[in-house]
A and B are shown apart, each in its own frame.
Chain A
Amino acid sequence: MQQDHTEEFIPYIVEARPDTGLYNAKFGIWLFLASEVMLFGSLFSAYILLRVGSFSWPVQSEIQNVLIGAINSVVLLTSSIFFIQAWVALKADDIPKYKRFMALVITFAFIFLILKGVEYYQHFSHGEFPKTSVFLGLYFLMTGLHALHIIGGILVNIYYIGPGMYLRSINKQWFINRVEVAGLYWHFVDLVWIFLFSTLYLL
């Protein structure tokens, strides 16, 4: 095992800062998530204003595949539960279990993307494109941006069951903290989907 001198050079990567009560990465991810709230918030704001300002608006549930949207909600939520279990296993030093649950998280994320792809395909085959209407423009923009976040999350999760595990050999707690931070991001992506589903499919 390598000697851990990292904490000597970069403080608070494992231990919490006395003033904030958080280690660096956790403080960083919460600031990042705050900026993400702004990003998606501006799009929700645009949605509300454009809808209020429009003479007509489609009945969204009639042009959307609500069933796939609802299934995707369950898929993402299930992946969140798996992520918590992966993190618990990692804390218990049960690496095979950690990898199994992380693999499930990644699998469910891919299922989400496949279902999203099916939805997009259905829209395109009906001649519904982003340029077709204001609603569809917003729908593709917001769900597309969310899908990019899912892809980003998948890459991070793959990293943490693959090459990123080298960190564990340097400092176990450091690695556990990194996975916790990735988990916070993953739950946030799930949280955004709750609003996207209710706003773009049901209202």
Chain B
Amino acid sequence: MEQHSNETDFKRDILIYFTIIAMTGLIVGISHLQLGVRGIFLIVPIACIEASILAYYFMHLMSKKKTVHLVLLLTVIVFINLLFWPAWDVVYSPRTPSEFTKY
């Protein structure tokens, strides 16, 4: 938050604030279109952009040191593994969905 000391930063933060609110409104609107599975491919990326904007500006990732970026990179790698290995198990295991839900 080092750079939040002048009027320009305040105006930028307000702009970011309304942008994120507008994007929230957009994903709510998309959800009402009843797009089914296709909606996922619209809503999830928009939510990711929203979260990225928040992290970038409010959490000041834009001005953070390399150390923070390294910590976050490691987190992302581990997180992707966290998603990938169970997904791999679901796709390639001989279990049927009904068997899967037993566990």
Contacts and interface: CB of A to CB of B under 8 A. Distances in A.
Contacts of B78: 38
B51 A202 contact: no
B62 interface: no
A187 B59 contact: yes
Nearest to A78: B17
A202 B31 contact: yes
Chief secondary structure at chain B's binding surface: helix
Contact of A80 (B27, B28, B54, B90): B54
Chain B's interface size range is 35 or more
A202 B28 contact: yes
B97 A53 contact: yes
Contacts of B9: 88
Chief secondary structure at chain A's binding surface: helix
B86 A45 contact: yes
Interface of B: 1, 4-5, 9-10, 13-14, 17, 20-21, 24-25, 27-28, 30-32, 39-40, 43-44, 46-47, 50-51, 54-55, 58-59, 65-68, 71-72, 74-75, 78-79, 82-83, 86-87, 90, 97-98, 100-101
Given A61-B32, A201-B31, A202-B43, 7 more contacts: A21-B65, A54-B101, A61-B31, A66-B31, A91-B5, A188-B59, A198-B47
